[in-house]
Amino acid sequence: MQKKLIALAVAGLASTAAFAQSNVTVYGVADGSFDVVKVSNSAADGNNLGNTTRVSTNSSLIGFKGAESLGNGLTAVFQFESGVSFENGNGTALSTSRDSFVGVAGGFGTVVLGTLTGPTRALGSALDVNAGATGIGANAALLGKLGNHLVNSTSTADGSYTANAGCTTRSSTCASIFDTRWKNAIAYVSPTFAGLSLTAAYVANENKSTAGNLGTAAQANTTGYDVGLKYANGPVMAAVTYNAVDLGNNNTSFSGKSTDVADFRVGASYDFGIATVRALFDSTRADNYSVGSTPVGKATQNVYGLGATYNVTPAGKLLAQAYFARDLKVNGSSAKDTGAKLFELGYEHSLSKRTMLKAVYAHLNNDDGAAYDFGINATGVAKAGATVQGLSLGLRHTF
C-alpha cells in the first residue's frame, strides 16, 4: 500500500544501517482491477464511447533495492524498479520507466543519479487518497496538465519533450510533465531537521542537439530543476515545491525562443487517526507556448483539490476527493470553458497487512473547451466537453 517516491524511498534506504553487506530486497505491487468506463457528452457524437469493460494493472511494479555500508558513516544505495503489465495476454511486460538509481548516503544527506520522482510529483502523489496514488480516480487527471496539453512530456529515453504522447492510447498513463518521472536526473535529499527536509533535483540536457545533429531536424535542449521543502512531524505533513523546465525546442512561432514551463505546488495533510484530510493547490505556467502548430504565448492555470479518508472499521476505509481545474488564462485573459472537475468516492478493505479489496467510482466532467482524461488508465478517446466516468473493482497485493 505504499507509493515509491524518491523522498521516501531514498530516505528509507539511507536509514537502513543494518545492511552491512550489499543485501538485495525484492519488492513489488500486484494491483489488478475490473473497470467499467464510459465517455459521453463529447462535442462530436462520434467521440462518445458507451460502457466499456477492461482489466487494468494500476501501476503494478517489481523492484530490487539494497544498500552497503562503506564505513566512515557512508552507505551506497541502489534501486531498480520496473512497471509490470499482466493483463494484455502476451505474458508479463516490464518497463524501466519507474524510479531506478544509484547513490551514496551519509550525514550530509543522500545523492542519487538515475530516473527519479521529483518533489513536485511526490507531493501530488502523497496527497492523493488512493493506495499507490493510482487508478481512475487519481488526482493526476488534472494536476499540471494546462488544459490537458502539457502531458507525458518526458516519455522518451533521452527525456526530451513529447507533447500529448500516450493520451490517445487506451489504458495508458496521461499525466503532466510534472507528474512524470525525470530521466537523466541527479537529486539531493537533505537530512531531516525538526521535521524539515529539502529535496532538489536537476535534469541533464542529454538530448541537446542543433538542426541536423543526431539525425534530427529539430533543435532540442531540454533541461530543468525540481525543488521541494517538506515538513513531517506526527500527524502533520506540509510541503511546497517548484518545478521549472526549459524545453529547448526552438519554437519558430516565437522567433526561435524556447518554451518554458513551470509548476508551483503547496499542500498539506493531517492524520486524526480515524480519519485524514488533505488539501493541494497547483499552479502551472507556460511561456512561448504552442498547442500543436497554433501559437498561444503565455498560458496559466490553477488547480485546487481536497481529499479525505475515514476508517469505518479497523479494516475498512472510505475515501473521497474532489479536484477543480480552473479556466486557462491565455496572455492574461480568461479562456472560457477550459476547466474540468474530478470527483471520486471509494472504499478500501484490508484482508491482511499486504492485501486489500477496493472499489472506486470516478467522474471527470470537462467544460466545453476542455478534453481531460483519467491520469492513470486513460480511456484514450476523451474529446472537448466529454464526461469521463468509471467504476473500478480490484485487488491490491504488496510484497
pLDDT tens for the 399 residues of the chain, in order: 334 444 444 444 333 333 445 589 999 999 999 999 999 887 665 667 888 999 999 999 999 999 999 999 999 999 999 988 887 655 555 666 799 999 999 999 999 999 999 999 999 999 999 999 999 999 999 999 998 888 876 655 555 555 555 577 787 888 999 998 988 999 999 999 999 999 999 999 887 777 655 555 567 788 899 999 999 999 999 999 999 998 877 777 777 788 889 999 999 999 999 999 999 999 999 888 777 667 778 889 999 999 999 999 999 999 999 999 999 999 988 889 999 999 999 999 999 999 999 999 999 999 998 989 999 999 988 888 899 999 999 999 999
- Predicted local confidence at residue 15, as pLDDT: 39
Q: Give the pLDDT of residue 68.
A: 93
Give the model's pLDDT for residue 381: 85
Is domain 6-398 in CATH 2.60.120.380, yes or no?
A: no
389 with 362: CB under 8 angstroms?
yes
Q: Give the DSSP H/E element, type plus range, for residue 377.
A: none
pTM for the full predicted model: 0.89
Query: What is the residue whose three cell numbers read 478517446?
Result: 381
Rounded distance, CA 243 to CA 261, Å? 8
Query: Under DSSP, is residue 79 helix (H, G, I), strand (E, B) or coil?
Result: strand
| Residue 277 falls in which region: left (phi positive, over 0), alpha (psi -120 to 50) or beta | beta
Grid cell, residue 262, equals 513551470
Q: Give Dmax over CA atoms of the chain in angstroms.
A: 67
- Give how far Cα 25 sits from Cα of 63, 66, 173, Å: 8, 6, 27
Give first-to-last CA distance, the chain, whole Å. Answer: 10
pLDDT score for 216: 55
Can you read off the three cell numbers belonging to residue 346? 471509494
Q: Grid coordinates representing 170? A: 487506451
Number of C-beta neighbours around residue 34 at 10 A:
14
Q: What is the number of H-type helices and E-type strands within the chain?
A: 2, 20
